[in-house]
Chains A and B, each alone.
Chain A
């Protein structure tokens, strides 16, 4: 006991030293920066840069992700419209961040912007690091209740509170060519999630398709996106869930991620490699080399253009506990230190962009699933009878953070501050398995890594 106490005090002192060191450097730098700043100002005439809004409007800063041209264009339109609508009251300044993950991580709380957009999978990490403001009691409950249940789940931290709103969600499933499936003699093509093929049936389907294909390949899983950390965290976590498990159950990955059922599911998945086109040109499906593609909503425009009426949208195969699908996309949150009128303005901004009009403006440009129920009903592709209704149905059947069962489909990526580590560990395991490594060892290694990190952080 005393030993630990001693250790803690020593640590605390050492922690103080680091803080002090940083303070000393900060002081020194502030002086130097004053000089440097004046040099900069003289050299560049920076005074011109600061845009003057003398109207007395409340200024807010907005960071948006610059991932897609369409999305950033939409963000600009929204900010411009917001500034126009609230002229004299509020004024938002938009900044693009090429790598929002690093930006939010590296920026201290007091330097965070009023409002920022981020990858929804990082929500828990940001809440844990004290960077996001709790939104319930701030944003009206009606805004949340209008969100798709999947998005509500994604925006909720383990404390049960909401920390983000989202304009759109994503859909993941299979795309198929009706003609190719028919030619291979496959008649049981499922178009609703409850009728998804089982994994063993899927093996037969692949085999039949491959037999008819000139290149003897049947499936595109977008290997070209990279089988390492990243794509698998989104696209192949549903395999874990469809085996009936989450990556982490009650804070432990060992026993969950490396469970025998999950291992067996991944062995089956790896056995499909012989049917999978590496899709180095990103076009295995459009170019007709394969009859099925395992990918998200964003490919719909390209696929429907290439295949037209021949295109069919299917759920992912069922590995025992029903088909499961990934979900989640970009979210918007408020910087933890926002307060007073800045907070009020940030709140107004979030509500402004959550209007159906602006949601549809974004989703028209990036093809994603509108994340509110009302906007979804106005969407040509996703509403009832639309080409991508399956995705909307899947998102409506959200498993939330509960253990996945056959009654639900979409599972948010593990809502944990450890997600970056989980994502990396899982992606590395996926890569090993895909390249012929032993599934049990790979998944166990990942599970141990995840648990070790969890212990290191005292369970976050």
Chain B
């Protein structure tokens, strides 16, 4: 009986959904209207940057005319290339490689280090495990800002190096937590049977856990990349040699140097963000899933 009512309900719902009543059409129209307007608002600053990067500086700051694509050229980009092309100011490609290198080490080092400790916490029994678990949970809420200044004070002899930019960021309580919650949710049976077959924990980790955990590895990769690529406060304290400066810091440096040429600054911004935007558009689904997975609920 009850399944019959269910069937009936579903049928009704289907009809409701399919019906193309005028009210429904208007509703859909307004739905799209709303989304379009909000999209326009969200995209406006980005569009402004893209258009501004191609316009002469004098025409960038001109009220809403800033959106009008007029007198477009790549001159601003050429100026950026020309400005950052010697040892005193740094090299554009160097800012890039600095950012890439530092982010790369943070992300891949982090994947290894954090997934290992998370696995040990989730699946192995060892002395001190409970204490470390509590420690990691406590550290999750501690933001980097809280330790930035003492960290600077301890590491100030290593300013203007690469390792000082990535080493403190490899281990991350947050990444450990993400791995941990994922590993805890994996079915135990496969591991147990592997264990009976004589596989040690290390082998289980490499041969079973890692292949089963691609989603969480992807999430952690993307989340820690976003953090590493945007890093500002610590490089601000630690790096001022143009040869070691990462991109997000350099754009601030460029911005503060008078005269403030908006065209080239926007061109620099586009150069900075375009590759990441491209990666984002290509792997959009992954980005969004990773962010969704970052929510620690409860």
Are A98 and B157 closer than 8 Å at their CB atoms?
Answer: no
Residue in A29, A44, A93 whose beta carbon sits within 8 Å of that of B158 in the complex: A29
Q: Is B176 an interface residue (CB 8 A)?
A: no
The residues in B between 157 and 210 inclusive whose CB is less than 8 angstroms from any CB of A are 157-159, 161-164, 166-167
Of A4-12, A101-109, A185-193, the stretch lying at the interface with chain B is A101-109
Chain A min CB distance to B112 (Å): 14
Residues on the A chain within 8 Å of B86, using CB: 76
Chain A hits for B256, CB < 8 A: 98
Select from chain A the residue with minimum beta-carbon distance to B162.
Answer: A40
Q: CA–CA, A76 to B259, complex, Å?
A: 18
Tell me if A132 counts as interface (CB < 8 A to partner B): no
- B7 adjacent to chain A (CB < 8 Å): no
Binds A, one of B10-18, B45-53, B213-221, B239-247: B239-247
Indicate whether A179 reaches chain B with its CB closer than 8 angstroms: no
Q: How far is the CA of A93 from the CA of B89 in the complex (A)?
A: 12
Determine how close the nearest CB of chain A comes to the CB of B54; give it in whole angstroms: 22
Give Cα distance in the complex from A267 to B276, angstroms: 54
Can you name 5 extra interface pairs (CB under 8 A) apart from A97-B240, A111-B159?
Answer: A22-B157, A29-B164, A32-B163, A68-B257, A96-B242
Contacts of B161 in A (CB 8 A): 33
Interface pairs (24), CB distance under 8 Å: A22-B154, A32-B167, A33-B158, A36-B105, A37-B163, A39-B105, A40-B162, A43-B97, A44-B97, A44-B101, A49-B243, A64-B88, A66-B253, A67-B258, A75-B88, A76-B86, A94-B88, A95-B242, A96-B90, A103-B240, A106-B152, A106-B159, A108-B157, A111-B159
Nearest to A79 among chain B residues (CB) is B88
Contact, CB under 8 Å: A95 / B88: yes
A160 within 8 A of B: no
| Contact A94 B87, CB 8 Å, known A39-B105, A43-B97 | yes
Q: For the complex formed, measure the closest distance between the CB of A403 and the CB atoms of chain B, giving whole angstroms.
A: 36
Complexed CA–CA distance, A70 and B88 (Å): 14
Least CB distance from B215 to A in Å reads 28
Tell me the A55-79 residues at the B interface (CB within 8 Å).
64, 66-69, 72, 75-76, 79
B238 to chain A, nearest CB (A): 8
B87 touches which one: A36, A51, A67, A99 (CB < 8 A)?
A51
| In the complex, chain B residues whose CB is within 8 Å of the CB of A29 | 155, 158, 163-164, 167
A344 and B258 alpha carbons, distance in the complex (Å):
34
Contacting pair B97 A36 (CB below 8 A)? no
User: Quick check: is A260 within 8 A (CB to CB) of the other chain?
Assistant: no
Q: B257 touching A66 by the CB < 8 A rule?
A: yes
Question: With an 8 A cutoff between CB atoms, is A52 at the interface?
Answer: no
Cα–Cα distance between A29 and B152 once the two chains are bound (Å): 14
- Which residues does chain B contribute within 8 Å of A106, judged by CB atoms? 152, 156, 159, 237, 240
A49 vs chain B, min Cβ distance (A): 7
CA distance A103 to B86 in the complex (A): 20
Q: Which A residues lie at the B interface, using CB under 8 A? A: 21-22, 25-26, 29, 32-33, 36-37, 39-40, 43-44, 49, 51, 64, 66-69, 72, 75-76, 79, 93-99, 102-103, 106-108, 111
A64 surroundings in chain B (CB, below 8 A): 88
A39 to B106, CA, bound (A): 13
Q: Which residue of B lies closest to A21 (CB)?
A: B154
Interface size on B, residues (CB 8 A): 32
In angstroms, Cα B83 to Cα A72, docked, is 11
Q: Are A25 and B154 in contact (CB under 8 A)?
A: yes
Tell me the minimal C-beta distance from A458 to chain B in angstroms: 21
Given A21-B154, A26-B157, residue A69 in contact with residue B101 (CB < 8 A):
no
Contact A96-B157, Cβ < 8 Å, known A67-B257, A69-B258: no
B133-157 contacts to A (CB < 8 Å): 152, 154-157
Given the interface contacts A29-B158, A29-B163, does A99 sit within 8 Å of B105 by beta carbon? no
A393 to chain B, nearest CB (A): 29
- Could you tell me the distance between the alpha carbons of A279 and B17 in the complex, rounded to whole angstroms? 60
Asked whether A108 lies within 8 Å of B156 as measured between CB atoms, the reply is: yes
Residue of chain B at shortest CB distance from A23: B157
**A69 partner residues in chain B, CB cutoff 8 A:** 257-259
- Nearest-neighbor residue (CB-CB) of B259 within chain A: A69
Asked if B163 contacts A102 (CB within 8 A), the reply is: no
Q: A68 vs B259: C-alpha distance in the bound complex, in angstroms?
A: 7
How far does the alpha carbon of A69 sit from the alpha carbon of B79 in the complex, in Å?
Answer: 13
Residue of B nearest to A98 (CB): B253
Nearest chain B CB to A63's CB is how many angstroms away?
9
- The complex places the Cα of A32 from the Cα of B165 at a distance, in Å, of 13
Contact B163 A68 (CB under 8 A): no
Contact B87 A93 (CB under 8 A): yes
Q: Which residues from B are CB-within-8-Å of A68?
A: 257-258
| CB proximity of B165 to chain A, nearest CB, Å | 10
Of A40, A43, A51, the most chain B CB neighbours within 10 A belong to A40
Q: Report chain A residues within 8 Å CB of B155.
A: 25, 29
Compute how far the CA of A76 lies from the CA of B87 in the bound complex, rounded to whole angstroms. 11
Residues from chain A with a CB closer than 8 A to the CB of B258 are 67-69
Question: Measured between alpha carbons, how far is A39 from B165 in the docked complex, in Å?
Answer: 14
Most A CB within 10 A of own CB, among B89, B152, B243: B89
CB distance from A92 to the nearest CB of B (A): 10
The answer to whether B166 and A36 touch across the interface, beta carbons within 8 angstroms, is yes
CA distance A44 to B104 in the complex (A): 13
Chain B residues with Cβ below 8 Å from A21 are 154
Chain A residue at smallest Cβ distance from B101? A43
Nearest 10 CB-CB pairs, A to B?
A36-B163, A98-B253, A94-B88, A33-B163, A96-B88, A103-B240, A40-B162, A44-B97, A96-B89, A97-B240
Residues of B within 8 A of A40 (CB): 101, 162
CA distance A95 to B253 in the complex (A): 14
From A25, A44, A95, A102, contact of B241 by CB (8 A): A95
Complex Cα distance A25/B167, Å? 12
Q: Considering only CB atoms, which chain B residue lies closest to A94 in the complex?
A: B88
Q: In the assembled complex, which residues on chain B have CB atoms less than 8 Å from the CB atom of A26?
A: 157-158
Residues of A with C-beta under 8 A to B152: 106
Across-interface contacts of A102 in B (CB, < 8 A): 237, 240
Q: Are A107 and B154 in contact (CB under 8 A)?
A: no
Specify which of A75, A93, A106 lies most central, judged by the most chain B CB atoms within 10 Å of its CB.
A106
A447 and B210 alpha carbons, distance in the complex (Å): 63
The CA of A22 and the CA of B88, in the complex, are separated in Å by 31
Residues of A within 8 A of B257 (CB): 66-69, 98
Closest to A39 in B: B105
Name B163's closest neighbour in chain A (CB-CB). A36
Give B161 Cβ to nearest chain A Cβ, in Å: 7
Min CB–CB distance A103 → chain B (angstroms): 5
Nearest-neighbour CB distance to chain B for A42, whole angstroms, equals 10
Name the residue on A nearest B152 (C-beta).
A106
Instruction: Verify A36–B162 contact, CB threshold 8 A.
Output: yes
Q: In B230-266, which residues have CB < 8 Å from any A CB?
A: 237, 240-243, 253, 256-259
**Which residues in B have their C-beta under 8 angstroms from that of A66?**
89, 253, 257
